Structures are given as structure tokens and as C-alpha cells.
Structure 1
Amino acid sequence: MQTDEVLGLLKDVADEVINPRFRALADGEIHEKRPGDLVTDADREAEVLITAALLAAYPDAVVLGEETFAGDPSLMGRYAVAEHAFTVDPVDGTKNFVHGSKDHAVMVAETVGGEAVRAWIWQPQHELGYVAERGGGTWRHDAAGTHRLEVPAAGSADGSADGSAEGSGDDGPRGGLSDGLRGRTSRRAWIGRALEGFEPLTLTWVSCGIDYPKLVEGEADYVLYGSAAPWDHVPGSLLLAEAGGLLGTTAGEVYSPRDTAPPGLIAAGSEAAYRAVCRALAASDLG
């Protein structure tokens, strides 16, 4: 499938089974996979449609869907070793969707040899699409057209990113960063706390399909995550990388789509910001 075709698929599926239920979910359409972990009929039906279309085009690929995995945990192992795979998050930000918030998204990523090569995020209620291809940049699709995105500079004395998560010779927890960075976190216990020299942490948009585009567009300088399922982070990792940012682990390693259980993640708008946050986090009492 061509890249634009996959974005069209996500739009069509959203129009068919997600948007009609927005702010109109019946009680019987909302379920719990685990206490507090919601899933709706929209999630399940959207994943079936997206998965069927991907497998029709790529019958030998492994498709790791969030809801399919919930019923078949062995799927994660097959995905981790697959030469060609897709991740599917049919409604990222299900709680937002259930509570009537527009901040939810449909996400797909493609991996080859364990590397993300294409990624798609469609925000149906905002009518915004974000697409990235390895070596081809990150693009925003909106009513005005298609626009290439690059992460805005954020208080960095050296805004370059060399694609490596190795440390630098900069001294101090912030390295070469001249101003406090604006951070968000999915860990609610950390909200209001601050890494040394940075602004206090605030809550993410509670949907990776919203968080990563917001980060790429400069509405935060970094995001700290705890959980790290591939369907949540593989799409955003490529969007961020192709726009000049970096997703890495709290242990100082560049994120890999095959790492299905990293210790925690730092999404940052630049290599310098990632290094600074990683050092500041290691020196902090957050835990």
C-alpha cells in the first residue's frame, strides 16, 4: 500500500466505526480489559478493519494490534522477531474517547528488520494527519495542505542531533541547554515535580497519538513515559526522529521497536535535550 493509501484507510475506518460513536457510546459498547483499562466496540471494530486491510496487502507480515494482543499475548513474541510487521492502535487515548475528549487518535507503524520505516497518526476529531517515512521526513496533513515538520529549537546551545544517545562532554545535568525545559509525563505521581533546572512536570495529553505531534510541534520539550507498548510508541518514535528529535530509554539507549519492555522512555525534541533529561533524571529522586 502506498503511504497515502494507509492514511486514507485510517480516515475511512474512523469515519465508519469511530466517529459515529464519539460522544454517543452506549453503556454496552464500553468494556474493561482489566480494572481501569477501557476498551470500546470502536477500538475492536477499527482494529479488525485495519488489520484485514494490511494483511490483504501484506499477507506475510505480522500485525501487532493492541486488542488482538489482549486476547493472544503470544503475538508480542512473533512481532519482536518479525522481518516485516505493523503495529496498530485503533483508538489511542480510549479513556479520552470514552469521556468525550477530542484528544484521541488512530495509529499504525510499519517495521522492517526491527526498524520503523513508516508511521501514521490520524486525529479524527481534529482532522489532522501525521505521516513519517524513514529518510523522507515528517509531514502534517490538514485542511490547508501538507507541511513538512521539524522540531523547533528549545533552549539548546547546540541544536544539532547526531542520532546517537551517547553522552557528551557538557557539564551539569542540563548539558548545553541554556533554559529550563518544559516537560510532561504520563506518570501522575510525578506531576508538579521538577528535574533540576527544568520546569515542573505537567500531565501529557493522555494519548501518545496527541503527545508526539505536540512534541514535534514544540508544545513541550520532552515527555517522560512509564509504560512502553510498541503500538503506543513506534509510530511516534519515527515521527520524532524524522523531525529532528529522539526517543530513548531512561537507561540511555535509543529506543528500538523490538524492545517490548524498556525501563521507561524519554521523548525529546533534540539529542541535546534527551541527554540533558537523561542525566537529570538519573540524578533525581524520582522513582
Structure 2
Amino acid sequence: MIDEVAQVLVCAAETAILPRFRRLTAGDVTEKEPGDLVTVADREAEQLISCGLREIIDIPVVGEEAVAEDPSLLEALGTQACWLVDPIDGTSNFVAGRREYAVMAALIRSGNPVAGWIILPETGQLYVAEHGSGAFRDGIRLLRPPPPAEVEQLRGAAPTKRLSNHERAQLSVVGKRFAALGPGALSAGVNYTRLLDGDLDFVLYQRSQPWDHAAGTLLLAEAGGISLRPDGSPYRLIESPTNLLLNAADRASWQAVQAVLRHA
């Protein structure tokens, strides 16, 4: 099944996404809400992925674009087995012609991801994980490299798109405690792969929509990392998407970053 799902995502990217990269017309891009873009590629890719996944396991598909039209679809996450799909994670990058975007899917059972996939169409890299079986990049087992022991050497990301000017100023002050703290790639999927590969040591999110984080948090956990709310509670897909989420390379680095944030 792992390979079958990956092929569905790759085919959708090759059919609906890659041919439109840097070729979108004005009519191909709309807003679901102010600042939240969606393209014809998002919608077509989600349709292709949804059909393909149902052929593998015939269960409901909760897709980001479908939920935008019918929010009641989210109820499936906590009540039954389902697929969770983000056809283009990082749509703003895709529209702007930036290569940092991803295609993601997860298999959800009892409200938790049990398998996850992240594909980076522009590089062809494939990240997959199955609960209890490890995380893999292009078929090679992934173990998150040990992060620096000193908090001043940690490198992180914290997207600022939805922050107020005051919150951005506070984050800028906090960022001076670390080796680096930037806004990240504007794509959760890309940020998770950079965290897995050791390019980042932690990522703090102000929003935690399930399609943005299900695959990434599973991959991170299977590679030795950790994803928790800032109060130390576990991440749940069915909780409010406005809750903060802190991902880190391991528990020690998570605790070090949280201590800095707590005393900011």
C-alpha cells in the first residue's frame, strides 16, 4: 500500500501540478478567503488523488479543498478510518513560482495518522512513514541527526503570516536566543522535510490544520523527533487548528525551545 499511495501522489503531481508550475493564468487562481489562495491545480490534483486513494482503500477522503466547500467532512477524522489529503501544500509558493511546495497524504485511524506521505514534486523526493515501522526518504531509513546540545546553536522556523505586528516583534526578540529563527518555507510539508533532514532543529506553528501536519508529525515521530503543544500535551488532529504546535528534533531540544518561549 505504501508504494501504491506514493504512485497516486506522483501521478497527480505529474498530471495536474507540474505542467502548471510557472504557467498559471489569472483565471487559474482564486481566494478561498483573504490571503488563502487556491488554484485549478489544487482542485484537479485533489480529485485525482481522492479517486486513486479510494481504489486502494474505499474509505472517505478528507481533502483540504473539499473541506473548504463542506466543513462537515472533518467529522470523519474522529469517527472513522479515512484518508487526509493536501494536494498542494504551499500554494502561495506555487502561485509565485517558488519551488517550495509539497503534496501530502495520510491514512487516519481512530483519529491518528498511521501512515503518511510527503512528496516534493520539484525535486522528486519521497518521504514515507508507517506507524511503528520507521520513516524513509527515497527508500532509505531516516533517523533525525542529533541537534546541538546548546539552545544558542539551534536553528528554527516560525511562520509569521498570521501574526500581528506586535507578535512578530516578540518573535524577533525571542529569535535572538537561537542560532537562527526565520519564517520557514511557507509550506509545512517542506518544513517537515527540512526538520527530518537536519536543516532545521525545530518548527513552531501558530496554526495546526490536520492536512498540514498529519503526515509530517508521523514522519518526525518515526525518525526520532517529537510534536507537542507548548503545554506538553500531545498533538490531536481533531483539536482546534488555532492551537500552537512545536515540533523538534528530540525531547531535549523541544524542552530547550519551550523554556525560551515560556520566558519570552
TM-score (norm 2): 0.92
- 1:161: which partner in 2? none
- 1:149: which partner in 2? 142
* Displacement of 1:115: 2.0
- Contact kept? 1:104, 1:207, Cα under 8 Å: yes
1:133 is aligned to 2:133: no
**Cα distance in structure 2, aligned partners of 1:57 and 1:193:** 49
Q: Secondary structure at the match of 2:53?
A: helix
| Structure 1, unpaired ranges of 5+ | 157-176
**Cα distance in structure 2, aligned partners of 1:122 and 1:62:** 21
| Structure 2, unpaired ranges of 5+ | 162-167
- Contact kept? 1:109, 1:234, Cα under 8 Å: yes
Amino acid at match of 1:70: A
* Displacement of 1:278: 1.9
- 1:206: which partner in 2? 186
Calculate percent identity across the aligned residue pairs.
40
**Cα distance in structure 2, aligned partners of 1:178 and 1:18:** 39
**Cα distance in structure 1, aligned partners of 2:176 and 2:185:** 23
1:48-84, Cα deviation, whole Å (9 max, x unpaired): 111122223322x2321100000001111232x2231
Instruction: Give the 5 Å matches for 1:51-70.
Output: 51-59=50-58, 61-70=59-68
CA 1:202–1:196 in structure 2 vs 1: closer, same or farther (change >3 Å)?
closer
Match of 2:93 among 78, 93, 96: 96
Match of 2:156 among 172, 183, 201: 183
TM-score (norm 1): 0.85
CA 1:282–1:178 in structure 2 vs 1: closer, same or farther (change >3 Å)?
closer
**Cα distance in structure 2, aligned partners of 1:12 and 1:256:** 30
- 1:24: which partner in 2? 23
Q: Secondary structure at the match of 1:39?
A: strand
**Cα distance in structure 2, aligned partners of 1:15 and 1:196:** 41
Q: Which has the higher helix share?
A: 2
- Give the CA RMSD over aligned residues: 1.6
Q: Secondary structure at the match of 2:172?
A: coil
CA 1:262–1:274 in structure 2 vs 1: closer, same or farther (change >3 Å)?
farther
CA 1:178–1:267 in structure 2 vs 1: closer, same or farther (change >3 Å)?
closer
- 2:36: which partner in 1? 37
**Cα distance in structure 2, aligned partners of 1:67 and 1:19:** 18
CA 1:200–1:122 in structure 2 vs 1: closer, same or farther (change >3 Å)?
closer
- Contact kept? 1:44, 1:67, Cα under 8 Å: yes
**Cα distance in structure 1, aligned partners of 2:232 and 2:252:** 12
Match of 1:77 among 75, 78, 84: 75
* Displacement of 1:193: 3.1
Amino acid at match of 2:249: G
* Displacement of 1:195: 5.3
- Contact kept? 2:151, 2:178, Cα under 8 Å: no
